[in-house]
Structures are given as C-alpha cells and as structure tokens.
Amino acid sequence: DGGITQSPKYLFRKEGQNVTLSCEQNLNHDAMYWYRQDPGQGLRLIYYSQIVNDFQKGDIAEGYSVSREKKESFPLTVTSAQKNPTAFYLCASSLSSGGMYEQYFGPGTRLTVT
Amino acid sequence: DAKTTQPNSMESNEEEPVHLPCNHSTISGTDYIHWYRQLPSQGPEYVIHGLTSNVNNRMASLAIAEDRKSSTLILHRATLRDAAVYYCILRDWTSGTYKYIFGTGTRLKVLA
C-alpha cells in the first residue's frame, strides 16, 4: 500500500530535550511538508521541501529543523529552542509543489512536552 | 498571502445535500482551490480541487464562482461519516515556490 507513515503516534519528552519525528512516504513524491496543529486550530506550515537536499522555512520554522537526504524521508527535529512544542504534528507529500497537485497526509504524531 | 474565509460551523441532516461556502477574494489568477477534511486526531484527507470550472468526483462537487472569489463544496447526500472539519485552501506562491495556506475550517455536524 502506498502512503505516508509517521512514527510514533504519541511522543512524550521532558522540556529541554530535542526530539525527532519521523515521516516516510513511498508515493515517489518530490514535495514534502511539515505542519503543526494546535487544539481547535487549523494547520500551520513549519517547513517544506520541493526536492531532495532542498527545503524552505514555512510560517513558523523557529525552533525546528529538517533534513531531506532521501526522497522518501523528511524528518523533523523539535529543538529545545521551540517555546511551545506540545502540538499535533502532520507530515504531507505531493507529487510536486505546484498548485494542481493534492497533498497526502500522514496520521500525525502527538507530541507532549512537560 | 492568499486567504480564505469559512463559517466556523454548519449542521446538516443525514441524507440531505450540504453546501459549504468559502470566500477567497484575494485569489490570484493561477491559484487552485483545494478542499480537505479532517476527522478528530487524524491527518486531513483530500476531497477535491479546481481552478476555474466546476469539478465533480466520487466524494463531492466543487462549484467555483465566475469571478473565482468564492467557491462552494457540495456533498450531495450527507452521511454521519461526513462529519468533520472542512478546510478550503489556496495555493500561495511565495519566494518562487508554492505553499498551502490552511484556515480554521468549517466544522460540519451531521444529524441522524
């Protein structure tokens, strides 16, 4: 089955620790995205990548970092510099970054930092 | 940035049609209009998208105003499984690439 996997589904960390969220896709998509969602809110773009070895900041990139060394993988690191890291994190991909291509989303990772 | 405006919530009876509106007065000529829906604690699911003409697929229909400043997602016969938050999204061209701008969406409640 083709799709996007995110792991783990739930993640708990202590304040001050960095944590890396996994995102893998086997759809052969060039573009990948990371979004953050807070309770009752819409999605906000953290980082996106149009192609391997390239990525750009979204609207709320501060305190986050990404890498895109392989086409199928786009991990997100939540660093200790992120002031409010507790949120629902969603990864998505699309065939290309053009507007005519729909995005496919993973099931999300719920991160809780205490 | 391109923005969309949607009602916070709507209700529909089961088996009846639902029309979910979206305003996007700042849309540019090449922006596609996308709709996604999200169930609680799940990732959003693609519903439909279009540019200028009305579009139909197995899930829904998309009606786009002639001036493209508004659109309507039509669910022909609402079921309980259609209860979700529906997002109307525009592609935003920024710094030479495309981003998707999500608003807060419309929470659809389907009554049995």
Distance CA B74, CA B92 (A): 24
Residue B97 pLDDT grade (very low, low, confident, very high; cuts 50, 70, 90): low
What is the least distance, in Å, from the CA of A103 to any CA of chain B? 7
Q: Which of B91, B73, B74 is nearest to B27 (CA)?
A: B91
Asked if A106's CB is within 8 angstroms of B43's CB, the reply is: yes
Question: B85 with B107: CB under 8 angstroms?
Answer: yes
pLDDT above 70: residue A1: no
Asked if A92's CB is within 8 angstroms of B43's CB, the reply is: yes
| Average pLDDT of the residues in B41-68 | 94
pLDDT above 60: residue B94: no
pLDDT of the residue at A3: 93
Q: Does B53 touch chain A (CB under 8 A)?
A: no
Largest interatomic CA distance in chain A:
41
User: Concatenated DSSP letters for A77-102?
Assistant: EE-TT-S---EEEEEEEESSSSTTS-
All residues of chain A having their beta carbon less than 8 Å from the beta carbon of residue B42 are 107-108
